[in-house]
Structure 1
Amino acid sequence: MKAYNRPFEVTGVQVNVIDKHSQLDQLVCHPVVQENTDAERSIKEYSVQKYKQIESHRESVKKSSIQKYNENKMHKSKVIDYNTEKYKNDDSFASSIKLRNTETRQDAQIKRKEIDCVIEQFKDKISTGPEYVCSVCHRCCFKMQVKHCKISKYLQKSQHAGCVSDKCITVDYLHMCNDNCSKDCVYKNTPAECLWICHTCDRKISEGKMPAESVANNLALDPIPVELSCLNSLEEHLIAKHIPFMKMLALPRGGQNGVHGPVTCVPSNVTDVVNVLPRSENYDLMIRVKLKRKLTYKGHYEYKFVHTDHVKTALEYLKENNKWYEDVEFNETWINPLSKTEEQVNDKSDNNEHNIENEDEEITEDTLHDRQQHGLFMDSCLQPVDIAQEVLDQHFDGIMSLAPAEGNNPVRMSMDESNEAKCFPVLFPKGSGTFHDPRPEKLTLSRYLNNRILNADGRFAQNLDYIFYGQYLSELNQVISNVSIALRKGHDTSNKTKITAEMLTNKESLQKILNFDQGYKFLKPVRGSPVFWQSVQKDLFAMVRQLGIPTWFCSFSSADLRWPELRQTIVKQEGCETPIDELDWSDRCGMLKRHSKRFKF
């Protein structure tokens, strides 16, 4: 019997018979399909008509579509792929997109002339702060400074670029919600759920080069242990091998600080500090300590309560893990004077009364001698901050004065390669990762400090001593590098003579350098110097020549404590759940001080 491959009709239903030995694979009912198609078309037309006529329905559909596009990653990728493919294949769709983009740009140019539109754009740009962490250099960046990090893109460029990306790109700051996260996770629908990369690192990796600011370029940070994280600022200075002295000033508003004069780093006798601090069986023992530059000075650099056990525990950790603290020794045979009986103290009290007058005379003579040697008594940042507290402290005997750097000469900050790790052992627990450490890619000092202060870890941006230390070191490095340039420009090269140290001692050769107007221009990068203000004056004259004489001048400064978007961004980075309006003035100033270096006002 032959197989029937032709169709036949039974009561209006078309059936395909394939073979008598085969089963019925397909049964297509065309009238039913036609009815379903008509129903779908009518529903679609009704939805389109409803979307056009009812505004509330249109807004709800837009809102739900945007929410689904933002939350559903699979739906988002499908929409992007569909539009990309349609843009390539459909010429009419591509031309409509181009026309729409042209109209949008023209409308934007017109709206830029309206102040309301400009203000709206400004508020939109500042709605998000530096919340985007680069996966390569770990810097906190703004939205315009980063892009989505796609590792497959580098693999497609070249094999070498792919190897560099595998080495440099990290996921340390990528948050993926799991079972341990709460229902209302603070990182949900935030930039922390995506992998970002800044434009500088993206360009370098695309070229097959390791970015100089990459964490893989020996810039990785060691976690701060509990032994060091519990220390206050005075305890950090007591355990430091070098103490950075600087004169800090309180600015008039906002609770911010400034620095006046140079930063001086002086070696500290850490072993003497450990042996001097009293010990007791009570773990919670805290004593009042004044850190001074010299014991004979009445003023102090810092005055706080010190937990003696914390200092010892921190030094024990540094001795085991930090290469610069291997020579620290502890005196285990130290006798605690607090355990003396009252009888012994009373026996010696009578003898001490006879020696008080002689001791006062000796201290007065030493103070006068020190004043004659230094010219100005207490001529630095060692002035007491609170005069009233200083007067009250004169009536208490339980205050210990320490001067661990007394008698030591300051170090040369630009020459001592270990100075950074010795000044800030809490920031560098193992003594590695500093600027002078060897690296595969060369890194300038300015880029290094930029990477440290903007680091997402936050330890450097929240340390005022490190910020002012880095500022002074950067200015010092600029001055030193510009000195040689100014000397070469000011030297007469027609005689083909080399520059020697003898020429600087010769009055005639030095006068020639000054005549070339280059003898003092190395101070140009230092803010506040005469050469700096001279360049500002020239810029102002150029502005007047180009734009005309101004009617009036107006200078603006950011109202940081009255800027709601800025405060909201800082609260978000702090992870604080308390509403910003409920925080008092001191809390607001403290939060702003900890995050001010990450913002560009």
Structure 2
Amino acid sequence: MGYQDGGPSEWGILTTSDDETEDEEEFTDSEPDSDSGEVDFMMIVTGANPSEAEKTTYFASKFENCMKSLNYYECNECKEKVLIRDQIKCVHGKRCINFQACNDMDPGDVPEELSDLSFKEEQLIARVHPVLSVFKLKGIQYGYSGNVINFSQDVAAFSKKLPHRLQDLPSILVLKYENEKYGSKYFNVRASKIVKALQWLKVNNKYYCDIEICEENINDLPVNENVYGKIQGCSVGENGSIHINDNEKTSSNNDEVQDGELDFGNVIHESRMPITVSFSTEEQVESTIVDWPEMNTTPDDEYNSDADLRCQRDSKVNASDYFQHLLNYKDGRFARHPTFRFFALNSWMRWTACTTGSIMIKNVPQLKHVTVSNLKEMLKKDPSLMNKIIYQSSNIRGTKPFWSKRTGELVDMVEQLGLPTLFLTLSSADLHWPDLFRILTGNLDNSQLTEKERRDLLQNNPYAVDKRVECIIDTVICTKYNVKDYWYRVEYQHRGSPHVHGILWIKGAPNVMDIKPGDDEKLKEAEDFFSSLITAVNPDPNCECQGTHPCRTLHEDVIHKSEKEKDEDLAHLLVQCQTHTKCAENYCLRTKRGGLKQCRFKFPHTLREKGRFYFDENGELQYEPARNDPLLNKFNRFLMAIWCGNFDTSPVVSKKLLLVYLSKYISKSEIRSSSLKDLFESVFAEFSDEDNVLKPIRRLYIRTCSERDYSAQEVCHILSGRKLFSAGGRKFVVLNLNENLNEEDVYEELAQRGGA
């Protein structure tokens, strides 16, 4: 039975055994749950009454073995290469044949003539240039912003002669820091390479059979030269000022970008269309945007024109499976291509958005013949209708409506299961982890890798970190701490690496909701329980990090160290990853009444020998752990040491604080009512009052896909069908318990709960 606002509701949410149903495939092996006798098995291994040190060693070894068991498996039939634990069969099982060459799903190996092309060389020989914005996040990953402009183009009309001339290429605006250099990786051009590539394409690719290889254009190309200086670009100074570097004369002497025009520090913005050509919003959203371009078009990487998305196949392959297959293709060229993965995600999201819009109109008969003017009037009378409309797009993974729906589900989970025990926040130290680079390189010792090599490996393998998150949750947290339920979501830090927020329900944990002022016995019970899990004590608060970064320590080296050596390692790790180093205006400082500035995390904290629960001035229960460092975040000793990165752990002490946490961290993408209203108004402004609402609804859903930016790692995560969240094996089912409540009323109620 479900509950709403503390009382029984007339429709319910049941939790059953399953997980994120939106996922296409989940390339993970099953792990025993917390009731599988894992601890009993550990006792058999270590003895009848294992000590705490033996338990720690056992689970540390278990995590290490889990990471060692991860390897890339390549199927000889479908040519997919995926990172999984021990596997001897294709992850597709009986569906493997759908992704084989016999079903026209093998794009083939890269011919020598087309290998090692730079980004600029690809542009010179490409017949089609989609429009998208790509930027490089601080430090590591690529990302993209906005929507791809994707429409049918008569290729023969403007690209019969190849290669293009450098001055005629689609415009690229490159923003780079002044102290950075762009080398041959992006902008090097070799005339001989271009000739060989076009000759091969003319013979082997049906989309190039009618091209004319233009000798005049070839003669204008350099023999082997970086052409960055010949394209439109600008440099970003250390103070953020913009200096235009344009070889063409401009009509303006302004050399600064206005405030708000530049949102990212390290940007590659590709328009990939002539700068003089403009397209209206209408052209971007009409029905042609739904389909893959049909006139002589094919993705850059499909060298021999095989494995086209729109070709006729014996077994149908949808767009989601198609892109997932290419991302997992054995040589990894699609997953690491600087633009293909972003183009694929945005195209898939927009096609899904348009389909969802059509289904929305079909399922709500009263909207079928409604005009924009009619809908405006309906929204004035009943603003909640906006939530109902937006709720229908919650199947588009990664969007704001998607996360809004997840929040509603999580609130119901808390209502039924009770208050969870712990908050968890895991951050990535993926530039350092040796077990991760063992997977990426195949070598156990990666200490000699340069920082650039580490960054390149992560850029080219953007979803390898996912498995480390799964290992720590499945093989350690759930079993060592007797977790009966959990929920977590994966989000992405500013530089693109995964960041996990979650909550745990632990068996046998005291119910802090029962603690009342003056109830010393229950306070003592809760303090003893949480003190064993959470602390802020550094074994050596005066230590200084020297030499190798502490996150680069091998687990197998740590397991066999003495307790003193482990404490030394933990101290270095805490100083590096768990310390609130300083307060800053743009991070944690908040101005209180009277102009006093205060850290929102309440640092520095008071030192104390023992953890304690207490009631604050507002009557809210609070917990302070034992502490010998005023700037140390709360943590769990074992999890901190085994994760080798920032790992915050806090008790859940009140339902009120839990709901604040859910709104701030679990559902960051939730649409507020004011912005939702603005979204509707901006879409309506692009249509006349007499237009049918189908196109505005489609455009509304498309716009929800572009309200935020996506890193390369998140793009691959979504396209490959991996979990964006996990409810610990539970599925949410809507039950109508009121025979007088019709289906539309249920959806409206859900929209209010999940979208408000």
TM interval, short-chain normalised: 0.5 to 0.7
After superposition, where does 1:200-599 map in structure 2 within 5 Å?
A: 200-202=92-94, 211-253=97-139, 255-265=140-150, 269-271=158-160, 274=163, 276=165, 292-293=170-171, 304-332=187-215, 364-365=250-251, 385=267, 404=274, 406-407=276-277, 412-418=288-294, 422=297, 424-425=299-300, 427-492=301-366, 499-500=368-369, 503-504=371-372, 506-507=374-375, 511=379, 517-526=387-396, 529-550=399-420, 553-572=423-442, 579-597=445-463
State how far apart, in whole Å, the 2-side matches of 1:386 and 1:429 are.
Answer: 25
SS in 1 for 2:459: helix
SS in 2 for 1:460: helix
Q: Sort the Cα spacing of 1:238 and 1:554 in 2 relative to 1 into closer, same or farther, 3 A.
A: same
* TM-superposed deviation, 1:453: 0.8
After superposition, where does 1:88-107 map in structure 2 within 5 Å?
A: 106-107=40-41
Query: 2:466 maps to what in 1?
Result: 600
Deviations 1:399-427 (A, max 9, x none): xx9965753757745323448x84633x2
CA contact (8 A) 2:150 2:293 kept: no
Deviations 1:149-193 (A, max 9, x none): xxxxxxxxxxxxxxxxxxxxxxxxxxxxxxxxxxxxxxxxxxxxx
CA contact (8 A) 1:504 1:510 kept: no
Q: Sort the Cα spacing of 1:522 and 1:380 in 2 relative to 1 into closer, same or farther, 3 A.
A: farther
Q: Sort the Cα spacing of 1:488 and 1:385 in 2 relative to 1 into closer, same or farther, 3 A.
A: closer
State how far apart, in whole Å, the 2-side matches of 1:338 and 1:468 are.
Answer: 29
SS in 2 for 1:259: strand
Of structures 1 and 2, the one with the larger relative CO (CA 8 A, separation 6+) is 2
Deviations 1:119-155 (A, max 9, x none): 32222122133422223322223555733xxxxxxxx
CA contact (8 A) 1:523 1:532 kept: yes
State how far apart, in whole Å, the 2-side matches of 1:555 and 1:106 are.
Answer: 29
Give ranges in structure 2 of 5+ residues lacking alignment. 1-35, 177-181, 223-245, 468-756
SS in 2 for 1:438: coil
Deviations 1:540-571 (A, max 9, x none): 31243244345663211332222212111111
Total equivalences in the alignment:
379
* TM-superposed deviation, 1:236: 0.7
CA contact (8 A) 2:99 2:106 kept: no
Query: 1:139 maps to what in 2?
Result: 80
Instruction: Verify: 1:120 aligned to 2:61, yes or no.
Output: yes
Larger radius of gyration: 1
Deviations 1:257-299 (A, max 9, x none): 111111234767445663635xxxxxxxxxxx896538xx897
State how far apart, in whole Å, the 2-side matches of 1:538 and 1:571 are.
Answer: 41
Q: TM-score, normalised by structure 1?
A: 0.53
What percentage of residue pairs aligned between the two structures are identical? 22
The amino acid across from 2:82 in the alignment is: C
State how far apart, in whole Å, the 2-side matches of 1:274 and 1:308 are.
Answer: 10
The amino acid across from 2:337 in the alignment is: N
CA contact (8 A) 1:240 1:424 kept: no
SS in 1 for 2:90: strand
The amino acid across from 1:220 in the alignment is: D
Q: Sort the Cα spacing of 1:132 and 1:402 in 2 relative to 1 into closer, same or farther, 3 A.
A: closer
SS in 1 for 2:147: strand
SS in 2 for 1:435: coil
* TM-superposed deviation, 1:481: 2.3
Over aligned residues, Cα RMSD in angstroms?
Answer: 4.6
Q: Sort the Cα spacing of 1:247 and 1:211 in 2 relative to 1 into closer, same or farther, 3 A.
A: same
State how far apart, in whole Å, the 2-side matches of 1:479 and 1:367 are.
Answer: 42
After superposition, where does 1:56-95 map in structure 2 within 5 Å?
A: none
State how far apart, in whole Å, the 2-side matches of 1:413 and 1:456 are.
Answer: 30
SS in 2 for 1:555: strand
The amino acid across from 2:351 in the alignment is: N
The amino acid across from 2:318 in the alignment is: T
State how far apart, in whole Å, the 2-side matches of 1:143 and 1:334 are.
Answer: 48
Q: Sort the Cα spacing of 1:219 and 1:583 in 2 relative to 1 into closer, same or farther, 3 A.
A: same
CA contact (8 A) 1:247 1:380 kept: no
Is the strand fraction higher in 1 or 2? 2
SS in 2 for 1:436: coil
